[in-house]
Amino acid sequence: AWFARRLHDPDTVLYLFEHEGRPVGQVRVEFDGAEGTIDYSVAAEARGRGLGLAVLRRALLELRHSRPAPWTLVAQVKAGNLA
- 41-78 tens-digit pLDDT: 999 898 888 888 899 999 999 999 999 889 999 987 77
pLDDT at 4: 87
Reported as a pLDDT band with limits 50, 70 and 90, residue 83 is: low
pLDDT at 2: 83
pLDDT at 80: 74
Sequence-ordered list of residues with C-beta below 8 angstroms from that of 73, at least 6 positions apart, any chain? 29, 35, 36, 37, 38
For the whole model, what pTM was predicted?
0.84
Sequence-ordered list of residues with C-beta below 8 angstroms from that of 7, at least 6 positions apart, any chain? 14
Q: How many residues does the chain have?
A: 83
